[in-house]
Structure 1
Amino acid sequence: MDDTLLASSAGILGEVHVLMNNFLMRRLGMSEAEANRVRELYWREYGSTFIGLWRRHGVDPRVFLPAVHDFDYRPYLKDVRGQRGVLERLSGRKVLLTNGPRSYVSKLLPALGLKGYFEAEVTSTDMRLFGDWRPKPSVSMLLALCARLGVRPHEAALVDDGLSNLKAARRAGLVTVWCVGMRRRHAGLRPPFGAP
């Protein structure tokens, strides 16, 4: 969802990061600088800050994720209704797969004109496997999701802005599409090797 269906780098992710840092400062007694460092470290190391917090500090993702996504998204949702037309030009079944919580998805999809559009919406709280949290970039979660949907991995594609998620999808046997346009515009992302 983030930076694939929605230009989250244009503001929403900044708000989420502030709320994450505030949560870490309150819950774990960290300074603002330490909270920012830990948030970024866990995102790089685990592919998701909430997994690092759960594994290293026992922070329940069902508490953390809704808390850090609870704010007014409306100021960041200007000119977002064009996504449905883009998606409809793509063939095949469509499943939303996001490390964001269900509360985030349920507010944003209507604003994007995509409420009820996807065959399934798989959020962070749905990404448990064998009693363990398995968000993107989990290969085992991607394989389990393909099995649940009745598709072979090579018949599925993951469209994502995160290279670690795409690398995991490739290891799982999925086709991958790197969506960089929104991040490049708003977060200064540069594709590797001078690609346009």
Structure 2
Amino acid sequence: MTGKRKLPHEGQHVHRRDLRVFKGVEAWVFDLDNTLYPHDADLFSQIDEQIARYVQRVLDVTRDEAMAHQKALYHEFGTTLRGLMINHNIDPDDYLRFVHDIDYSRLNANPDLGRAIEALPGKKFIFTNGDRPHAERTAAALGISEHFEDIFDIVSADLVPKPDRATYDKFLGHTGISPARAAMFEDLPKNLSVPHHLGMCTTLIIPSGSREVFEETWDMEGEPYPHVDFVTEDLTGFLKAVLGAVS
């Protein structure tokens, strides 16, 4: 692959495009879990545990069976929720309340991230496969709630999760943003494919300490992630670098 460079002062970032492509971006779209907070905050592991407990309770199976069933549904339908709705006719509201009944005290306020998001020119959105109450509690714990124009959650998407194209179309229709003037930040590569196709600038957030592994993968012949423009382990640091490039 050609064109990939590291920022000289930000070693945790890798990218194949110049940061100045963010000039003119008017809408900044952020996934929630493992994106706006670091993977090692271990919040999503609680949700994962709650999902397994829910599957175990609803299907009356062992814990191991529940975990296996949960993962199978996730891979087939995009979320365990959608799989349970289609295959087992569960109440989505009951599911969402149960799986997001977690301890948010593990999250620390991140004023540096808040200042970086606030400084971005234009509107900012949270776009999540979780529900709005979970997003609101998470953003409040991080101290960044006031910086977002709106939250587009799984309920707003009619319970159809990313990466389904229809969900992105609903998001764009709801917010009225132009993809060509938007940037999206995600922790799952598959969820950046449609945004890239639509013309958004895409950034993948990866767990701390994994940049080198990802960079080697990214260098593999065939470019397995052509829809990823930038990669970072540190969202706050990356946004500061973006601000420096567009100011």
Q: TM-score, normalised by structure 1?
A: 0.84
Which of structure 1's runs of 4+ aligned residues deviate more than 6 A?
Answer: none
1:143-168 Cα deviation digits (max 9, x unpaired): 22212322232222221111111113
CA distance in structure 2 between the partners assigned to 1:155 and 1:141 by the alignment:
19
Other-structure match for 1:136: 162
State the Cα deviation string for residues 30-64 of structure 1 (Å, max 9, x = none): 21111111222222333322112212221222211
Give the paired residue count: 188
Q: For residues 141 and 38 of structure 1, what CA distance do their matches in structure 2 show?
A: 25
CA distance in 1 between counterparts of 2:157 and 2:38 reads 23
Task: Say which one has the larger Rg.
Answer: 2
- 1:19, 1:149 → 2: CA distance? 31
Change over 3 Å in CA distance of 1:104–1:173 after alignment to 2? same
Structure 1: runs of 5+ lacking an equivalent = none
Uncovered stretches (5+) of structure 2, i.e. residues with no partner: 1-31, 219-230, 232-247
The Cα RMSD (Å) is 2.4
Alignment partner, residue 156 of structure 1: 182
Residues 92-137 of structure 1 show CA distances to partners (whole Å, capped at 9, x for unaligned) of 2111111112221222211111223211111112111xxxx22211
Structure 2 matches for 1:31-110, cutoff 5 A?
Answer: 31-74=62-105, 76-78=106-108, 80-110=110-140
**1:193 maps to what in 2?**
216
Hey, what does 2:201 align to over in structure 1?
Answer: 175
Instruction: State whether residues 139 and 172 of structure 1, in contact with CA within 8 Å, keep that contact through their aligned partners in structure 2.
Output: no
Q: Greater relative contact order (Cα 8 A, min sep 6): structure 1 or 2? A: 2
Of residues 109, 115, 124 in structure 1, which corresponds to 2:154? 124
* Structure 1 or 2: more strand by fraction: 2
Match of 2:120, SS? coil
User: CA distance change for structure 1 residues 56 and 92 in 2, over 3 Å: closer, same or farther?
Assistant: same
Distance 2:79 2:216 in 1: 26
Is contact 2:104-2:141 (8 Å) kept? no
SS of match in other structure, 1:55: helix
**Do 1:143 and 1:172's aligned partners in 2 also have CA atoms closer than 8 Å?**
no
Distance 2:83 2:212 in 1: 24
SS at match of 1:5: coil
Distance 2:35 2:215 in 1: 18
Q: Identity over aligned residues, as a percent?
A: 26
Q: Write the letter of the residue equivalent to 1:15.
A: Q
Instruction: Please name the residue that 2:34 is paired with.
Output: 3
CA distance in 2, matches of 1:106, 1:79: 14
Q: Which amino acid is the alignment partner of residue 49 of structure 2?
A: V
Matched, 1:16 2:40: no
* 1:46 and 1:52 in contact (8 A); partners too: yes
Structure 2: how far apart are the matches of 1:176 and 1:145? 16
Contact kept in structure 2, 1:21 and 1:32, CA below 8 Å: yes
